[in-house]
Amino acid sequence: MNRKEEDEKYMRRCIQLARNGAMGAAPNPMVGAVIVCDGKIIGEGYHRRCGQAHAEVNAIRSVRNPELLTRSTIYVSLEPCSHYGKTPPCADLIIEKQIPRVVVGCIDPFARVSGRGIQKLRDAGVDVTVGVLEDDCLSLNRRFITFHSEKRPYIVLKWAQSADGFIDKVREGGHPVVLSSPETQMLAHKHRAECKAILVGRRTALLDNPSLTVRSWHGDNPLRLVIDRSLTLPPGLHLFDGSTPTVIFTEMDSASQHPGVEHVRLDFTQDILPQIMRYLHERNIQSLLVEGGCRLLQSFIDAKLWDEVHVERVSLRLEDGVPAPTMPPNVCFQVEKRFGSDYLHFYRNVHQAGDKKL
């Protein structure tokens, strides 16, 4: 194996480790680090949770014999930081531990001074290689990158549809048609846990009475968001049970009476989606899952406000009902996964940085 192949091998491991931070690292990027001495991994780490140690620190701490560090290489998926944040700079730690070589996946495009961590290391005489599996390392943090470059959260749209293209029966009450299977429901809850906020429209809140919490997976509940222009939703809905915070977007100028429920006023004479995006950006919410209904999902698609779409296609036929949203014709269909007789289709919008290879 030549040096390039070896670098890519360990960088792939960094990316794998970084993904363990999918639930906790935000609003920080996911980062993984590996320390290699004489062709053997002697330390590994990733950024677990915002405010806690960075990947490089965890990797260095995991090394049993610190003497080996002075002849090791540290691989890290993102440029080591160079400024004092909640933790001391990782570049300084690498220099202090006298690690002679650093391999970096991608530079930090949104660090206060991008590239400074690498410069600091080079100035101290460290051999630095930059750009190993760069596209993969950027893509790993596409939520983080989209948030900072587009000034809005990374948006995932999700729905389930019948074999004949309906998402629900037409109804004025009663229970929704359950299209999900236990397997796809578990996956849906995993996706909820990976998003910081979840949005539904008024009709979905009223007819489906969803909890929008994470139950069939481990992780934090997303912030619940619902659009209710005139505040006509009944107070007994699960969304207002106070179990986890909820925001109602409304045109009414009144404070909420429910604990854990907050009113956010929007101008409904204007397009509300840009206003919601601004609000979420200001709250530092980097990812948004939209779970319905059809009109709301379609308005996101029409406004090109989406990054991923997850469509569950079940074998059941409804014959009639509410038609599923329609995707624009030229989108990039990414992958199909099979769950029993159901299929999950993932689409990705390829407009942003870090998606060149996807």
- We find the least distance from the C-beta atom of residue 37 to Zn ion, in angstroms, to be 21
**Closer residue to Zn ion, CB minimum distance, 92 or 312:** 92
**Closer residue to Zn ion, CB minimum distance, 45 or 292:** 45
| C-alpha span between 332 and 348 (Å, rounded) | 6
Give the DSSP per-residue string, 155-223: EEEEEEE-TTSEEE---SSSPPP----HHHHHHHHHHHHH-SEEEE-HHHHHHH-------SSSSPPPE
- We find the least distance from the C-beta atom of residue 78 to Zn ion, in angstroms, to be 9
Residues that bind Zn ion (CB under 5 A): 54, 81, 90
For residue 319, give the amino acid letter: E
**Closer residue to Zn ion, CB minimum distance, 54 or 313:** 54
Question: What token pair was written down for 168?
Answer: 């629900």
Tell me which DSSP letter residue 30 carries.
P
Question: What token pair was written down for 194?
Answer: 């990976």
- We find the least distance from the C-beta atom of residue 60 to Zn ion, in angstroms, to be 11
- We find the least distance from the C-beta atom of residue 80 to Zn ion, in angstroms, to be 6
**Closer residue to Zn ion, CB minimum distance, 54 or 143:** 54
**Closer residue to Zn ion, CB minimum distance, 111 or 225:** 111
Catalytic residues: 56
- We find the least distance from the C-beta atom of residue 103 to Zn ion, in angstroms, to be 16
Q: Listing from the earlier edge strand, what are the strands of the sheet with 197-200?
A: 261-265, 246-250, 223-227, 197-200, 287-290, 154-161, 308-313, 342-348, 332-339
